[in-house]
Structure 1
């Protein structure tokens, strides 16, 4: 299993060990959240929190404006002052004004676009996908024309519709067809407008070293086109900030004997960073670190107002995904359990799974979210996949109108239950497609002991049971797991704190971030027969009261178990049904489980979850499940 390295480092751990106050900003695509942490009776606690729209777009075009607006909310709440002359007051003053440490995480600015060039085959493409799976990056694989011509059957027709996907070798390509392939590749780079490029492939393939040479030539041609476009736009008075003519950053992870030749070809158009050839998972980590560094340099550092934001902190702003990955792995190691985090944002959906043995499976789905990224979900899954989660009939036009409104006005809140449920249906699909991407990168998938949920649409849900239902539907956990809602959206911020002050991170996590415990879930799986008993649940409360509940296959039941209440569980699954110890094996908890805001949830709907195909039946079941859960 691939374990991604921690690119966040250990910067500042000793430096901030004695800080009495911290101000942490999380700058998202839609909103900026700022939290104040301080010592209360010897424990670090959340003191106040402010939120404001992110301001990287005109008319402000300065990310610090939104940060200051969010800090102003904290100043109003606390009566303290943190900003003076447009700067953070630091360290904390004897008057109580100021703060000892300021930390920022950033997911605004969009993903980094990476063109993967050279002798790109399916195994190499999969390795690259693994390398960027925990980063704000999206790739476009563009195999060199000679590699395509030697590994695919010649197309029967020449034109834009011909395929470049690998297939069985066939007839020889004509020169006209190769020329058409060159034009198609150049058009793909033109459309992508990549921030950077990754050149891969060895020289022992059917095309030899030619694909590496052609990859360089494609970048040279793209650079000339970009320069010409930049000049024409400047002459016409068109803003050219998105069409800069700085050299392409290039990561070269191909045949080592040709690195000097690549540098000579690209000396006027690219800055080449050499890595060991990408041939196996052993090199994935190095590629991930290199791409992460390019994202920081070419996306985060280019955000309007970044330079000012950077001067407020002794450490560089972290990508929010990096911060979240630090926390998930930290919690898995600290509590010795498998931890899954699901973060549904406006433009990015992230699912990360960390195991107690050091396993780590990250998936950052850039461009997929419930704000500006909602259109990408619709494009990927289709409107019927959205409609299947709705307990009412909906038309394609209504779904598309919802998407249009969200893309144009991502900060609006739902004005009706119908609109709320459509948004939550999109959130389910955002998680589902992200989990599917994560599973492509890993040979095995761990059952989670703890699920952390964060992101605006989850944190702001009117009912806790709605969050529980979304997580059960989308993540499809199995066995016994606990679910926690990060209502204050602190998880990513705590990850940033963990890199500089681990003790602070643990205390804030336990005291504030995970205070909204939804409850413990028991999810039997295996041979569940509809209408038949799935599992008998014995509950022994701390006060001695006992309860037995029979749960039928296809149903959800909620057993009363309140927040701060505990009980011992005994599970008697039906033959062929598994609750985590094997089919038909009885399970008795060695320790008491915790209750929560929803209670003890028994989800016997089966895994994988299959909804009824009949619309009327499906809608009735959705309503029934929601009513039982209290959603």
Structure 2
């Protein structure tokens, strides 16, 4: 009998999104933590329930049906901690993205320093910046006061001043904030997160501490050259939690059963990516992407350092921001393999905007949704370009070397076939060199990030045992050549002794089937200076790849992908790409 070296605590993970609420169960099996199953129900943050807890209750009921584990008592309340008879769970963690993005006003000194850093901080959570107030905006005190009062913001972020730097200017900018809090009803006063010059925190506290919910944090711009968001991210998460407790019915109950540790999915994703970046090849980064209804999340880590971006404006259907009304029909049409009128496309988008849980009813609607997923990734990457460049990337869309890329979102996990999910990621992210596409098929990565705070062993072990789907190994050499030119040669050695030689021509997509449980050694030799990440242009080597849902995908279409202006040629190119991955 195997000996368990882990503390046998069962864990329930709740993930409450705009469209779906999921309850996932983890426990020790054969001396290691395993994912046991999930229950899913429609989220109930919006009408007619306006209460998160109803969706949570239904998801737990379905989890009980799936696993056979009794989790609710006779009064339909969650059993915590677990009982001697095995019913209930020991721990609960939760991630919540349901609800409208936080409405935020940013106050700072200079647009390209303090306000830029404050915007970067807010991009790590679900927030929508309503207005920016700064020294150069030419507003009077009365104008600033009216702006704050009319905005009805949830949060005001105040930045400015390097350590030991500006004092009087920061206090001057706070004057309108203090007056607005004084004139507002106590229940409607915004939370204030101060992330500026920490040497004047006592002055800030004396000036506005009694007028609102003030949180003093570390300076996000301690010098002109250095931006440090880490400490402020924790305080922003705390402020987010407090605001949700007040304004999102049912959140308080969820937070309480999670021991006050409810976090955003983005916070969980960043924690997982940071952890994996320490375990994988230190020369490569790790990326996680989640294409959700409320927002698209991109997290990246390298050697224990991490960054995350949350983009509500690029969610697949954010009903609060009505973001799909801003989508460029021209950009979206580019990724459709057939002609559709702008009116037909707009109708599909508006339906999705109004009913985020709606599913595609035909081939045309599916193609629009997949094209929309590509755009959301591309738009989000543009917003991340500066931070990704710090991780070793070139000018976007040239990504830094990554291993692996973990992806989540119902648009991927519920795609009719895995080839459609893979092609969406290839076109949306345009990965380079050699990497692995991994699919979070059970939507648990963010939950594992939440679990890592209370049980790091569980987070590591649950990810090891087939919980994530190995979608495909990707080989995408960097370089430019004329279409049809041989840019990569490969010798393939299979486990059964078979050997094969293949040449790959520029401008094409290839798929080499490699089922689960098998592996393949490839001796790769790039030509014409193409770079595989093996030491420079033209340098090749051996790589062993594991079996996956789609096997090995070789993408020699170029980076960035070519822009094909002729509609007929482009549509033929798109149809050919999907046909290759489907082995048609």
What does residue 248 of structure 2 align with? Answer: 303
In 1: Cα distance, 2:571 partner to 2:531 partner: 28
Asked if structure 1 preserves the Cα contact closer than 8 Å seen for 2:118 and 2:157, the reply is no
Further displaced range: 530-539 or 267-276: 267-276
1:126-153 deviations in whole A, cap 9, x for unaligned?
A: 2223323322233345234x5334xxxx
Matching residue of 1:518: 471
Query: Cα RMSD over matched residues?
Result: 2.9
Kept in 2: contact 1:372–1:406 (CA 8 A): no
1:520-547 Cα offsets, whole Å, 9 max, x none, are: 1100111232221121222111122111
CA distance in 1, matches of 2:57, 2:150: 36
- Give the drift of 1:433: 1.5
Shift in Å, 1:627:
0.4
| Separation of aligned partners in 2, 1:603 and 1:403 | 30
Q: Quick one: distance in 2 between partners of 1:21 and 1:55?
A: 26
Q: After the TM superposition, which residues 314-333 of structure 1 pair with which residues of structure 2 at under 5 Å, given as runs?
A: 314=259, 316-333=261-278
Q: Is 2:388 the counterpart of 1:432?
A: no
Of 396, 414, 427, the residue aligned with 2:342 is 396
Matching of residues 105-254 of structure 1 within 5 Å? 105-140=95-130, 142-144=132-134, 147-149=136-138, 183=143, 185=144, 188-189=147-148, 192-202=151-161, 209=168, 212-217=171-176, 220-221=179-180, 224=183, 226-227=184-185, 245-254=187-196
Higher relative contact order, structure no. (Cα contacts within 8 Å, ≥ 6 residues apart): 1
- Distance in 2 between residues matched to 1:344 and 1:91, nearest whole Å: 34
Alpha-carbon shift at residue 254 of structure 1 (Å): 4.1
Matches within 5 A, 1:278-289: 278-280=221-223, 281-289=226-234
Distance (whole Å) between structure 2 residues aligned to residue 193 and residue 62 of structure 1 = 22
Superposition misfits of 4+ residues, deviation over 6 angstroms: none
**Corresponding residue to 2:520 among 567, 571, 575:** 567
State the shift of 1:268 in Å.
5.7
User: Which residue of structure 2 aligns with residue 351 of structure 1?
Assistant: 298
- The residue correspondences of 1:403-414 to structure 2 (distance < 5 A) are 403-414=349-360
User: Of the candidates 521, 524, 529, which is equivalent to residue 576 of structure 1?
Assistant: 529
Deviations 1:393-423 (A, max 9, x none): 1222222211211121111111112111111
Whole-Å Cα distance in 1 between the matches of residues 103 and 485 of structure 2?
51
Q: Is the 8 A contact 1:361 1:438 kept in 2?
A: no
Contact kept, 8 Å, 2:145 with 2:179, in 1: the verdict is no
Alpha-carbon spacing, 1:495–1:255, altered in 2? closer, same or farther (3 Å): closer
1:234 corresponding residue in structure 2: none
1:352-406 per-residue CA deviation (whole Å, 9 max, x = no partner) reads: 1111x22312111124211336976545551111111110112222222112111
Give the counterpart of 1:334 among 268, 279, 283: 279
Shift of 1:248: 2.8
Give the deviation of 1:31 after TM superposition. Answer: 0.6
* Pick aligned residue for 2:555 from 598, 603, 623: 603
TM-score norm. by structure 2 comes to 0.89
Work out whether 1:453 is the aligned partner of 2:402: no
> 1:433-464 CA deviation, whole Å, 9 max, x = no partner?
21221223343433111111111111111111
Q: CA deviation at 1:100?
A: 2.2
Would the aligned equivalents of 1:129 and 1:441 in 2 still touch at CA under 8 Å?
A: no
Match of 1:42 in 2: 31
Instruction: Decide which moves more: 430-439 or 374-383.
Output: 374-383
Other-structure match for 1:481: 435
Indicate the SS of the match to 1:87. Answer: coil
Q: Please name the residue that 1:294 is paired with.
A: 239
- Is contact 1:351-1:362 (8 Å) kept? yes
Question: What secondary structure is seen at the aligned counterpart in 2 of 1:120?
Answer: coil
Cα separation, 2, equivalents of 1:188 and 1:512: 52
Match of 1:617 among 555, 569, 583: 569
* Range that drifts further, 615-624 or 539-548: 539-548
Q: 1:621 to 1:187 in 2, by over 3 A?
A: farther
Give the unaligned 5+ runs of structure 2: 394-399
The change in CA–CA distance for 1:359 and 1:265 in structure 2 (over 3 A counts) is: closer
What does residue 397 of structure 2 align with? none
1:372–1:408: 8 Å Cα contact kept in structure 2? no
8 Å CA contact 1:498, 1:505 repeated in 2: yes
Distance in 2, Cα, partners of 1:374 & 1:450: 33
Structure exhibiting the larger radius of gyration computed from Cα positions: 1
- Structure 1 pair 512–187 and aligned structure 2 pair: CA distance change class (3 A): farther
Q: Distance in 2 between matches of 1:375 and 1:627?
A: 36
- Return the alpha-carbon distance in structure 1 between the equivalents of residues 77 and 431 of structure 2: 45
Confirm or deny that 1:626 pairs with 2:578: yes
Matched, 1:469 2:459: no
Does the Cα contact within 8 Å between 1:523 and 1:579 map onto a contact in 2?
A: yes
Larger CA deviation: 320-329 vs 90-99: 90-99
Q: Do 2:45 and 2:52's aligned partners in 1 also have CA atoms closer than 8 Å?
A: yes
Secondary structure of the corresponding residue to residue 88 of structure 1: coil
SS in structure 2 at match of 1:105 = strand
Maintained 8 Å contact 1:349/1:365: yes
> Secondary structure in 2 aligned to 1:405?
helix
Once the 2 structures are TM-superposed, how far is the Cα of residue 61 of structure 1 from its aligned partner? 2.4
- Deviation (angstroms), 1:210: 5.2
1:77 Cα shift?
2.5
Q: Residue deviations 1:88-137, cap 9 Å, x none?
A: 11333343322222222211123323211142321222222332332223
State the TM-score, normalizing by the size of structure 1.
0.83
**Matched-pair contact (CA < 8 Å) for 1:109–1:300:** no
Alpha-carbon separation, structure 2, partners of 1:624 and 1:375: 36
